[in-house]
């Protein structure tokens, strides 16, 4: 599984407008639902918020990987968002979160869901890569960087 199986160029938001955890989740959900019309933004945001109540998906170093499972989709899908100013996402290190990679999997895809989470986590561990994502001028460059970094694995 590669990141490009999950993320398409049109699913990159280079400058999130949201300024809170729930607003980020709504903005990412709304974007994802523009491509996957079987999902409803309100329902997806509720699923994501429920997952956040179990523990924050912000893993530190400015990264969050919100995720959830939903009926009605055939594959794992994703959307990437960047907040230049950062958002308080209850990160493990207490710092603002800037890079968000939302993953949504079918209900019955537990093992693929975990593999996708691990792949995204490994991708975003590289500090130099995170800096490149933060300085990229637009969504096309962000996608190109993600694709290039993913091809290294």
pLDDT on residue 71: 86
Q: Residue 47's domain spans which residues?
A: 3-150
Per-residue confidence in pLDDT tens, the chain, 153 aa: 899 999 999 999 999 999 999 999 999 999 999 988 888 999 999 999 999 999 999 999 999 999 999 988 889 999 999 999 999 999 999 999 999 999 999 988 878 889 999 999 999 999 999 999 999 999 999 999 999 999 987
Q: Is 141 helix (H, G, I), strand (E, B) or coil?
A: helix
**What pTM, to 2 d.p., does this model score?**
0.96
Helices (H), 36-93: 41-54
pLDDT on residue 110: 78
Q: For the chain, what is the domain count?
A: 1
- Chain centre distance of CA 54: 17
Q: Which residues are catalytic?
A: 67
Q: E strands along the chain, which residues?
A: 12-13, 58-60, 63-64, 67-70, 77-87, 97-106
pLDDT on residue 36: 83
Q: Is 80 helix (H, G, I), strand (E, B) or coil?
A: strand
The CA distance from 134 to 142, in Å, is: 9
Are the C-beta atoms of 3 and 133 separated by less than 8 Å? no
Q: Among 153, 105, 146, which Cα is nearest to 8's?
A: 146
We report the CATH number of the domain holding residue 56 as 3.40.930.10
13: which strand partners? 81
């Amino acid at each position: 599984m590669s990141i490009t199986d999950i993320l398409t160029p049109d699913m990159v938001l280079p400058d999130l407008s949201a300024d809170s955890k729930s607003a980020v989740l709504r903005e990412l959900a709304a974007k994802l639902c523009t491509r996957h019309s079987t999902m409803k933004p309100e329902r997806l945001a509720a699923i994501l918020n429920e997952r956040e109540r179990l523990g924050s998906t912000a893993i530190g170093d400015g990264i969050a990987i919100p995720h959830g499972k939903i009926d009605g989709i055939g594959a794992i899908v994703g959307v990437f968002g960047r907040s230049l100013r950062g958002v308080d996402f209850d990160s493990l290190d207490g710092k603002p979160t800037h890079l968000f990679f939302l993953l949504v999997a079918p209900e019955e895809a537990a093992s693929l869901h975990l593999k996708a989470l691990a792949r995204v986590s490994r991708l975003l561990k590289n500090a130099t890569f995170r800096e490149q994502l933060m300085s990229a001028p637009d969504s096309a460059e962000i996608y190109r960087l993600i694709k290039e970094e993913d091809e290294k694995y």
